[in-house]
A and B are shown apart, each in its own frame.
Chain A
């Protein structure tokens, strides 16, 4: 009545699991992890087979350090709210990077910058000036940027184009989707 299969270190079902991990992050898997589940489901027999296959893979690697765990959707069962609040902090700590496109009117191609690198508007604007070789004017709440043909704008979460500098830096960082250096009046 007892199953003869030896239960190894719990990696048996990995082959049949949907993952969000990058292909190749888990050395034991032969196939790309993301596409396993979506179209075709493994039958129970196949699941058994892949189970024992992975078990034999594992016994080889038993001596090594545990591989980085590929993520399974929804596991561990932590509320997204809680996960997001940790990831936010991780991002802040490790500089996970927040790359946005920057376009400049008239430039042949776009650039990308990491907003997380900067701590304030002056730093960001300075970097943009250096990247595109132009000068930005003085910012004032009343008149926007004075003294130059160029105006920095950003697209926010709603898809609206906003003037850079109006909102607190933290709020800007969290809502900026892309940047654009506008040329000319208006």
Chain B
């Protein structure tokens, strides 16, 4: 039943930007499905193995912007062997063959090859934006192909990728006619770049808003580049080191003063502390500051810097700021919404400089805080309860106590009550990571209160299957569950197998599930891929159902077992 012509419907649907809204709209009736299908420009695929490129193209033939995610999250922490999968080439190839007018490709934890980048650069005339996060498998030669061939490139954003740096001149491959860049981020590259080419590139791109340099770009080059780009909004410095003679620092100060639009800064991969004050004038306008790769800035200098940053909304920092420094953040940064405190010495002994005190101070000073990642030496229930009371707006709460099973050092109790307070108070909580000594009780709380929870990460926690069952039964919106080193076994895994079709994926490693349990699950649920990842004992596949499974990754899919699984991955 259609009162409007398709064009009008399409125009109305244009206002729907959220994937979920558009998905809902497609279910209303056949004609809405059709209009939505042909007008869908942006598609998000959270697991590249849940669907195939061919089916995606058939479903959304006019897709322009594609986001793909590959490896499971725990791959970030070396829990997934290399060559597990997540190859983007088949997607690029399929889209090229079908003449998809691809404009933007955003990939996370995928394997990208030079061939893929070359094919991409050749096949999509209007290609504008490439964003690669935590990807690997390519070299700067692939980047050269993109630079040389994507005539309308607006965005090249490389975040934390492992890229092999060849002695090439990839940056010089941007032709003189390329003036369209809006965002260029190559901070993760390790090698030299042609500084002259970089300067000229920046100079001819008047719309450049975001520039993140790598370590090979020295301070004097930064200063020259900034003279060409006073309109920058986001700056990542390269190496911020120079013998601080007065002239350099003065030049720097006057250059930074011209950059009135900078709202976000990162980098400082190496720092000469005496050059740091040059950025104080910018600090008062900063809303985002990432100093988490700058171990060269010591606590006192950090504190001096923070004093100038009153408008900060997002802060990523190292724990060398200390509890005292976090106290300064709490007094100064009243607009703070997101805080990440990373460990400066991940394997150090007792050198981590933040404890529950820093977090409590932040919770008192920053009521708008809604996103937290906090690596700390210790945590107490009392502190978590206070934090829960002060900051009921958390949507993301990730706590990582460096000693994974550490109890509350004051009471010697597990941290069940503390996390229980968090989930009870923060009714909008969507993502939660636990650590510290935890029993089944914390999972009871999570199941009871965490109604909006979508992603949960658990390590070294719980006592029995009951723990996992509380979560599976209680968290109706759960999409991703990842568990390592917990005593959850087949009973927990198999009690409600239908649940897994409502979720994107489940990861369980070093738990108590057995091969037999996984087989039962795989048989009952044909639309779930149950992958067993077994780096050792490959010959023992299938011989003993009582054998415990080292790593299991299961995910819902419409396309059955994948065909590119390596030999150490067995899809049941």
Chain A contact residues, CB within 8 Å of chain B: 3, 6-13, 17-18, 37-39, 41, 44, 47, 66, 68-69, 71-83, 85-86, 89, 157, 167-168, 171, 174
Q: Is the CB of B350 within 8 A of A171?
A: no
Closest 8 CB pairs of A and B: A74-B77, A10-B406, A81-B160, A41-B548, A10-B405, A79-B76, A74-B79, A7-B407
Select one of A8, A11, A17, A76 contacting B400, CB under 8 A. A76
Q: Is the CB of B406 within 8 A of A9?
A: yes
Selected A-B contacts with CB under 8 Å, 29 pairs: A7-B407, A7-B413, A8-B407, A8-B412, A9-B407, A10-B406, A10-B436, A13-B404, A13-B405, A17-B485, A37-B510, A41-B512, A66-B350, A69-B349, A71-B347, A74-B74, A77-B76, A77-B459, A78-B77, A78-B342, A78-B375, A79-B134, A81-B134, A81-B160, A81-B188, A86-B345, A86-B346, A168-B192, A174-B190
Q: Which residue of A lies closest to B270 (CB)?
A: A89
| Interface size, B (range) | 35 or more
Whether, in the assembled complex, B460 has its beta carbon less than 8 Å from a beta carbon of chain A, the answer is yes
Q: Is the CB of B76 within 8 A of A157?
A: no
Nearest-neighbour CB distance to chain A for B547, whole angstroms, equals 9
Stretch at the interface among B161-169, B194-202, B497-505: B161-169
Nearest-neighbour CB distance to chain B for A66, whole angstroms, equals 6
Q: Which residue of A lies closest to B162 (CB)?
A: A81
Q: Which residues of B contact A68 (CB under 8 A)?
A: 349
Q: Is the CB of B346 within 8 A of A78?
A: yes
Q: Which residues of B contact A85 (CB under 8 A)?
A: 293
Q: Is the CB of B437 within 8 A of A10?
A: yes
Q: Is the CB of A83 within 8 A of B346?
A: yes
Binary flags per residue of B345-357, CB closer than 8 Å to A gives 1, else 0: 1110110000000
Q: Which residues of A contact B326 (CB under 8 A)?
A: none
**Distance A18 CA – B292 CA, assembled complex (angstroms):** 28
Q: Is the CB of B343 within 8 A of A78?
A: yes
**Distance A174 CA – B164 CA, assembled complex (angstroms):** 11
Q: Which residue of A lies closest to B414 (CB)?
A: A7
Nearest-neighbour CB distance to chain B for A8, whole angstroms, equals 8
Q: Which residues of B contact A3 (CB under 8 A)?
A: 439, 463
Binary flags per residue of B148-170, CB closer than 8 Å to A gives 1, else 0: 00000000000011101101000
Q: Which residue of A lies closest to B464 (CB)?
A: A44
Check A10/B403 contact, CB under 8 A, given A41-B548, A79-B76.
yes
Whether, in the assembled complex, B516 has its beta carbon less than 8 Å from a beta carbon of chain A, the answer is no
Q: Which residue of B lies closest to A168 (CB)?
A: B192
- Docked complex: B180-195 residues within 8 A CB-CB of A: 188, 190-192
Q: Which residue of A lies closest to B406 (CB)?
A: A10
Q: Is the CB of A76 within 8 A of B375?
A: yes
Q: Which residues of A contact B167 (CB under 8 A)?
A: 167, 171
Nearest-neighbour CB distance to chain A for B268, whole angstroms, equals 12
Whether, in the assembled complex, B560 has its beta carbon less than 8 Å from a beta carbon of chain A, the answer is no
Q: Is the CB of A13 within 8 A of B460?
A: yes
Given A38-B536, A73-B77, 14 more pairs with CB closer than 8 A? A8-B412, A10-B405, A41-B512, A44-B487, A47-B487, A68-B349, A69-B349, A73-B79, A76-B343, A77-B400, A78-B346, A81-B162, A89-B295, A168-B192
**Distance A60 CA – B9 CA, assembled complex (angstroms):** 75
Q: Is the CB of B405 within 8 A of A79?
A: no
Q: Which residues of B contact A73 (CB under 8 A)?
A: 77-79
Q: Which residues of B contact A12 (CB under 8 A)?
A: 405
Nearest-neighbour CB distance to chain B for A4, whole angstroms, equals 13
- Docked complex: B428-448 residues within 8 A CB-CB of A: 433, 436-437, 439
Q: Which residues of A contact B400 (CB under 8 A)?
A: 76-77
Q: Which residues of A contact B439 (CB under 8 A)?
A: 3
- Of A12, A39, A85, the most chain B CB neighbours within 10 A belong to A85
Q: Is the CB of A74 within 8 A of B190?
A: no
Check A80/B77 contact, CB under 8 A, given A7-B414, A41-B548, A171-B192.
yes
**Distance A154 CA – B335 CA, assembled complex (angstroms):** 54
Check A39/B347 contact, CB under 8 A, given A74-B77, A171-B191.
no
- Of A47, A76, A89, the most chain B CB neighbours within 10 A belong to A76
Binary flags per residue of B191-222, CB closer than 8 Å to A gives 1, else 0: 11000000000000000000000000000000
Q: Which residues of A contact B433 (CB under 8 A)?
A: 77
**Distance A12 CA – B295 CA, assembled complex (angstroms):** 32
Q: Which residues of B contact A167 (CB under 8 A)?
A: 167
Q: Which residues of A contact B485 (CB under 8 A)?
A: 13, 17
**Distance A79 CA – B407 CA, assembled complex (angstroms):** 25
Q: Is the CB of B536 within 8 A of A76?
A: no
Q: Which residues of B contact A7 (CB under 8 A)?
A: 407, 412-414, 437
Q: Which residues of B contact A17 (CB under 8 A)?
A: 485
Q: Which residues of B contact A174 (CB under 8 A)?
A: 190
Nearest-neighbour CB distance to chain B for A72, whole angstroms, equals 7
Q: Which residues of A contact B457 (CB under 8 A)?
A: 77
Select one of A38, A74, A82, A171 contacting B78, CB under 8 A. A74
